[in-house]
Amino acid sequence: MNISECFYSIQAEGISSGMPAVFIRMQGCNLMCGGTGGSLMKEGKATWWCDSETVWKSGTSYSNDDLLKKFNSLGELENIRKGTTRIVWTGGEPTLPNHVRDIKEFLNYWQKLGRSDHIYNEIETNGTQVVPSEFYTDPLYIRQINCSPKLSNSGIPIEKRINKDAIAQIKQHPNSWFKFVIGEEWDIDEIYSDFIQSCGISEESIILMPGCDKREDLPERTRFVWEMSQRYHLRMCSRLQVLAFDRLTGI
């Protein structure tokens, strides 16, 4: 599998914020939020850009055994086996067909070694890819889906960023969450029209998050999302990794 980075950290966003996790960032993405190098944001066509772009554009080839050795070198192999440290498959976009194939092969390989009974896999996806049904239904594979559908504030055309079939598939997973990056109040209107009403996403599964990658901006942006959460009665989160490490990656 092609991996951009693999590191031990804390899940800093979404429903499982605060949980220890090993992040596996897969190489490549089918979207370019904010444009290459933030070009769409600079042109005023987006309000944020992908802060991991420079990382997921490159990668290193890992065998299944290489990845196990990486877990061991991080000191987390046994904790992953026990389920006290989660695996978070992220990107880029980890639900691209080649990545889904590689993730399944790795987890099947580990199961054959008798070491996968308690592994807890989360996946972070933009919700545009339909995957083989067993990838979401078999507990060996994905136990939690953190879906981040893109709004127009990403600068991505609607036909590229919304796939109703993929959203419908994710909704069926019993532990699926939809996290939206917001920068203005009208983003909430878009969530209601394009996702709650059009795609049937439940309000209870929605999480609002600030579009911010600088520590100096995080307090004000978090207060804004806090106010939107109060006003619309939707769950919210901040970005703990930005608070702790600013723009540093791989932590």
CA angle 135, 140, 142 (to 5 degrees): 50
pLDDT at 126: 96
Alpha-carbon span 198 to 191, nearest angstrom: 9
- Indicate the average pLDDT of the chain: 93
Taking each helix axis from N to C end, the angle separating 97-112 and 64-73, rounded to the nearest 10 degrees, works out to 70
Is residue 217 in a domain? yes
| pLDDT for position 115 | 65
**Residue that wins the pLDDT comparison between 84 and 52:** 84
Q: Is the pLDDT of residue 182 over 70?
A: yes
Q: How confident is the model at residue 57 (pLDDT cuts 50, 70, 90)?
A: confident
Confidence of residue 124 (pLDDT cuts 50, 70, 90): very high
> In this predicted structure, which of 20-34, 35-49, 67-81, 174-188 has the lowest mean pLDDT?
35-49
| pLDDT for residue 52 | 76
Q: What pLDDT score was predicted for residue 33?
A: 82
Predicted confidence (pLDDT) per residue in 137-177, tens digit: 998 999 999 999 999 989 899 999 999 999 999 999 999 99
In a domain, 251, yes or no: no
- The pLDDT of residue 45: 74
pLDDT of residue 237: 97
104, part of any domain:
yes
Determine the Cα–Cα distance for residues 245 and 251; give it in Å rounded to an integer. 8
Total domains present in the chain: 1
- 207 domain-assigned: yes
Mean pLDDT value across residues 86-91:
96
Is residue 250 situated within a structural domain? no
DSSP for the chain, written as a single string = -EEEEEEEEE--SSTTTT-EEEEEEES--S--TT-GGGHHHHTTS-S---TTHHHHTS-EE--HHHHHHHHHHTT-HHHHHHTSSEEEEESS-TTSHHHHHHHHHHHHHHHHTT--TT--EEEEE-S-----HHHHHSTTT-SEEEE----GGG---HHHH--HHHHHHHHTSTTEEEEEEESSTHHHHHHIIIIIITT---GGGEEEEE----GGGHHHHHHHHHHHHHHHT-EE---HHHHHHTT----
Residue 170 or 54, more confident: 170
Q: pTM (2 decimals)?
A: 0.93
What residues does 7 pair with on adjacent strands? 23
Q: Which domain holds residue 169?
A: 2-245
104/41: higher pLDDT: 104
Torsion on CA atoms 85, 70, 126, 54, rounded to nearest 10: 130
Q: Is the separation of the CB atoms in 63 and 3 below 8 Å?
A: no
Alpha carbons 172 and 202: distance in angstroms, whole number: 11
Condensed to tens digits (0 to 9), the pLDDT of residues 188-224 reads 999 999 999 999 999 999 999 998 889 999 999 999 9
Domain CATH code at residue 113: 3.20.20.70
- Residue 6 inside a domain? The answer is yes
Confidence of residue 47 (pLDDT cuts 50, 70, 90): confident
